[in-house]
A and B are shown apart, each in its own frame.
Chain A
């Protein structure tokens, strides 16, 4: 089970208190009625589904109830950082944790995937 740092509560809490809420930094279009079908598809259905570092929304559902953003590695499931909703993507090159080598999944240990 993961420990997730809620930037509002300012503490690490168990994964059980949180729900993932999809990709972060997707702006909801303000001109929905004027969009083409292609634009709506790209906004609503298509996803990068990144293997590696991804930016996503989480909600501290059984805690403060607020949405925040996280940068997470989808291969190791390690959270690189979490930050408050509305903030820009953080520069993660300065945030790579020193413990990155400790990953135990098959993908992380047996393949070239990073």
Chain B
């Protein structure tokens, strides 16, 4: 792999850009791998990368039924933050946030992580109490989060309407300055390139149709539309389709899949300096480096595998955005899309071993998996390599729904996140 640097760019500029090589190859699958990861999104590719980099396992294939990064990695609103209430969540999301800082250098690929601040608006006394509780809990966990008055909030985000006559008046905000955004595609591409450089096979258009098991019940390999591929260990990192894959191994999951929609506006000059979320009116917004406003909200109301969603959902989101930011009322929306997110009962992820020896699962990220990509991949690689969880993901078991040790971020945030 040729290192990307300002000198490479300069040299290629002189040579008419004829020297660039493919970022990753598309090899034929081998007969057997040490580890197969199902799903080439950020979490899956990252898992392969950290297995190769930190655990010395390079005989890995990442199988993807569509194209690389074409699932939820390419369908989210790229928000990064770690201000979760519970200690377990703080542990894993802040592990991710620390890895975001430095990921571009680590991968030699610009993932455009921008710590521009994530501001969560408070509209009433209840919001204020909940956010202040979050701020104190975060500080105890060493995570930055601070309370802003309405005036300070507008100073941080000038387009914000803080007038008392606003449809949704604001009585303050919680700000995590280290939060921000990153370029979603670059995350998938950067991990794919860095993993392929270490010998990982990234195999696209390869759909898993079955999981084959040994006589003792342990995993033997996967059936795909490109034939059978053997594997000592298999990691399922398939987001909304996790239930479908796990059913092939006779494991029922505590998951329901919903469409989550997002949309972008026409590109405009820089107007919006940070990420703003409002849990109460339920909308979030930021501006991409391309200039588009990136807007999202909660899931559709009914479970589905259709990568679309109801128009009334995004209309409702835009109603909220237009009330919070009257200057955007005449913006035109350019594209909208849906991704299928897998939601757990407690809205916390599952990164764990399964009842099937050699089968591991990383799922349940619901509506907020992008922010966790590096951290999730990092500890999931540890779980696969050692056949035991890292201490950060040890609480995120599948068994917690039996023992009752839930990590109830659903109750903590009272919204999808």
Contact = CB atoms under 8 A, between A and B. Distances in A.
Contact of B305 (A2, A38, A45, A74): A74
Contacts of B403: 37
B256 interface: yes
Interface in B133-175: none
Interface string A11-39: 00001100110000000000000000110
A20 B252 contact: no
B303 A49 contact: yes
Given A16-B312, A45-B401, A105 B243 contact: no
A1 B401 contact: no
B303 A19 contact: no
B252 A47 contact: yes
Interface in A34-83: 37-38, 40-42, 44-49, 51, 54, 56, 74-77
Nearest to B302: A20
Contact of B301 (A19, A105, A113): A19
A51 B252 contact: no
A41 B257 contact: no
A38 B254 CA distance: 13
Contacts of A20: 301-303
A54 B257 CA distance: 12
Interface in B308-339: 308, 310-312
A15 B313 CA distance: 11
B307 interface: yes
Nearest to B303: A74
Interface string A73-111: 011110000000000000000000000000011111001
A38 B252 CA distance: 12
Interface string B233-251: 0000000010110010000
Contacts of A113: 305
Q: Which of B243, B301, B304, B308 has the most CB of A within 10 A?
A: B304
Interface in B64-81: 65
A46 B302 contact: no
B357 interface: no
Contacts of B303: 20, 49, 54, 56, 74
Contacts of B257: 49, 51, 74
A46 B254 contact: yes
A46 B306 contact: no
Contact of A47 (B253, B302, B310, B311): B253
Given A20-B303, A107-B306, A48 B243 contact: yes
A1 B403 CA distance: 40
B255 interface: yes
B270 to A, nearest CB: 33
A108 B311 CA distance: 19
A75 B310 contact: no
Contacts of A105: 306-308
Contacts of B306: 74-77, 105-108
A3 B95 CA distance: 45
Nearest to B310: A1
A112 B241 CA distance: 14
Q: Which of A20, A40, A113 has the most CB of B within 10 A?
A: A20
A38 B305 CA distance: 28
B300 to A, nearest CB: 9
A1 B312 contact: yes
Contacts of A74: 257, 303-306
Q: Which 8 A-B pairs have the closest CB atoms?
A: A49-B243, A20-B302, A105-B306, A45-B254, A45-B401, A46-B252, A41-B402, A37-B402
16 contacts: A16-B312, A20-B302, A37-B404, A41-B254, A45-B345, A45-B401, A47-B254, A47-B256, A49-B243, A51-B257, A54-B303, A74-B303, A74-B306, A105-B306, A106-B306, A106-B308
Interface of A: 1-2, 15-16, 19-20, 37-38, 40-42, 44-49, 51, 54, 56, 74-77, 104-108, 111-113
Interface of B: 65, 207, 241, 243-244, 247, 252-257, 301-308, 310-312, 342, 345, 401-404
Given A46-B254, A47-B254, A48-B243, 6 more contacts: A38-B402, A44-B401, A47-B252, A48-B252, A49-B257, A75-B304
